[in-house]
Amino acid sequence: MLRRAELQIAEIIQETHDTKTFRVGAPPGGLPEFKPGQFYAFEVKNADGAWIRRSYSIASSPRETRFFDLTIKFLEGGAATGVLFKNARTGDTVRATGPFGEFILDESRPAIFVAGGVGITPIMSMLRYWSESVNPPNACLLYSNRERRDIIYEAELRDMAAKCRNFEFHYSLTRVKDGDRWGGRVGRFDASVVNEICQNMTDRIIYLCGPVAMMEEMGRSFIDMGVKSTDIRVEAFLGTNPTFG
Ligand SMILES: Cc1cc2nc3c(=O)[nH]c(=O)nc-3n(C[C@H](O)[C@H](O)[C@H](O)COP(=O)(O)OP(=O)(O)OC[C@H]3O[C@@H](n4cnc5c(N)ncnc54)[C@H](O)[C@@H]3O)c2cc1C
C-alpha cells in the first residue's frame, strides 16, 4: 500500500484528442502490489499550491512495478483535469495513496468486459494482465465510444486480439462521422447485442465500467440472459452506482 507517496510524472502520452496517459514513476523499491482493476487516490497541485485529490484507475498491468499509468479524460471546467492537461509536465511531483477498490479481476473465471469511453482504464489493466498470463480463461471485450477518434488503446487492443486466440472483442460507435471509414458495429450496446454476442457465456464474470445508463442497460440484459447478479462487477467513475434490480 502506498501511503500518500510523493512521486514524479515520468512521461505524458497523448492517447486520443481528449485523453492522456500520465506515467508515474514508482517509489524506490518498486510499486506495492495491486490487483488489476484497482485505483489510486491521486493528487495534483493547482496554481495556488493546493492539492486536488481525485480517484483514477490504474491502467497498467500489476506486473509492471517500475511505474503505473493513469489514462485521464479532459473535462472542460474540471479542477484536476484542468491542472493535468494545461500545466502538468514530465518531472512534476504528484501524490498517490492506495491502491483501493473491489473492481478486481477474477483470474480463474472466463470474462466479459463491457467498457464505455474512458471506462476502459481499469479493464485495460485487467486485459494487460490477462494477456500476459499463461493459459488465461476466455475473455470477450465489448467497447463502445461515440466517434472513432474517441477509441483509447485501439492499436494495442487490435494487436491483443490478433495475438490471443481466446480473446474476442467488439467495438461499437454511437456517432459515426462521414470521414470515419468505419466498417464496424454502430449503435449503443443493448439487449440485442448481449443476445447476439454473449448467448453461450452465462458462466462468465461480467465487468462493467462506463456511463451509468450503459451499465444499467447491460447489467439488466445480462441478468435477463441468466447471469447471476453476484457475477456482475461494476465501477462507477461519477459516484452514481448503476442499479439493474
Ligand atoms: C474509482 C474511480 C476511478 C476513476 N478512474 C478514472 C480514470 O481512469 N480516468 C478518468 O479520466 N477519470 C476517472 N475517474 C473520474 C475522476 O476521479 C474525476 O472525477 C474526473 O477526472 C474529473 O475530475 P476534475 O477534477 O477534472 O473535475 P471536477 O472539478 O471534479 O468536475 C467534474 C465535472 O463537473 C463539472 N463542473 C465542475 N465545476 C462545476 C460547476 N461549478 N458547475 C457545473 N459543473 C461543474 C466539470 O466541468 C466536470 O465536467 C474515476 C473516478 C472514480 C470514482
Per-residue pLDDT tens for 54-95? 999 999 999 999 999 999 999 999 999 999 999 999 999 999
Pair 172, 180: CB distance under 8 Å: no
Residue 193 lies in a domain: yes
CB distance 141 to ligand 1 below 6 Å: no
| Residue where one domain finishes, among candidates 46, 79, 100 | 100
Q: 22: domain CATH number?
A: 2.40.30.10
Residue 242 lies in a domain: no
Residue minimizing CA distance to atom 39 of ligand 1: 77
Residue 63 lies in a domain: yes
Pair 160, 171: CB distance under 8 Å: no
Residue 16 lies in a domain: yes
Probe ligand 1: pick from 23, 38, 56, max atoms within 8 Å of CB? 56
CA 204–ligand 1 middle distance (angstroms): 31
Query: How far is the C-alpha of 219 from the C-alpha of 165, rounded, in Å?
Result: 26
Judgement on whether residues 48 and 77 belong to the same structural domain of the protein: yes
Residue 106 lies in a domain: no
CB distance 237 to ligand 1 below 6 Å: yes
Which pLDDT does position 199 carry in this prediction?
86
In angstroms, the Cα distances linking 124 to 19, 45, 81, 110, 127 are 14, 27, 20, 16, 5
Judgement on whether residues 32 and 118 belong to the same structural domain of the protein: no
| Residue where one domain finishes, among candidates 41, 65, 100 | 100
CA 205–ligand 1 middle distance (angstroms): 28
Judgement on whether residues 8 and 81 belong to the same structural domain of the protein: yes
CA 53–ligand 1 middle distance (angstroms): 10
Judgement on whether residues 145 and 34 belong to the same structural domain of the protein: no
Number of domains in the chain: 2
CB distance 54 to ligand 1 below 6 Å: yes
In angstroms, the Cα distances linking 8 to 20, 67, 82, 191, 203 are 16, 10, 18, 44, 42
Domain residue limits at 154: 111-235
Please return the burial class of 92, using the count of CB atoms within 10 Å of its CB with bins 0-12, 13-18 and 19+: middle
DSSP state of 238: T
Residue 175 lies in a domain: yes
Judgement on whether residues 115 and 229 belong to the same structural domain of the protein: yes
DSSP state of 57: E
Probe ligand 1: pick from 19, 54, 73, max atoms within 8 Å of CB? 54
pLDDT in single tens digits along all 245 residues of the chain: 888 999 999 999 999 999 999 999 999 988 999 999 999 999 999 999 999 999 999 999 999 999 999 999 999 999 999 999 999 999 999 999 999 999 999 999 999 999 999 999 999 999 999 999 999 999 999 999 999 999 999 999 999 999 999 999 999 999 987 777 888 899 999 999 999 999 888 899 999 999 999 999 999 999 999 999 999 999 999 878 888 76
Residue 244 lies in a domain: no
Hey, what's the cell of 213? Answer: 445508463
Probe ligand 1: pick from 24, 81, 128, max atoms within 8 Å of CB? 81
Judgement on whether residues 59 and 131 belong to the same structural domain of the protein: no
Judgement on whether residues 93 and 167 belong to the same structural domain of the protein: no
Judgement on whether residues 11 and 94 belong to the same structural domain of the protein: yes
| Residue where one domain finishes, among candidates 78, 100, 122 | 100
Residue 245 lies in a domain: no
Atom of ligand 1 nearest to the CA of 82: 26
Judgement on whether residues 60 and 83 belong to the same structural domain of the protein: yes
From the list 104, 157, 166, 170, the residue with the least C-alpha distance to 138 is 166
Judgement on whether residues 160 and 195 belong to the same structural domain of the protein: yes
Report the half-sphere exposure of 25 (CA within 13 A, side-chain side).
13
Judgement on whether residues 8 and 69 belong to the same structural domain of the protein: yes
Q: 179: domain CATH number?
A: 3.40.50.80
CB distance 77 to ligand 1 below 6 Å: yes
Which pLDDT does position 232 carry in this prediction?
97
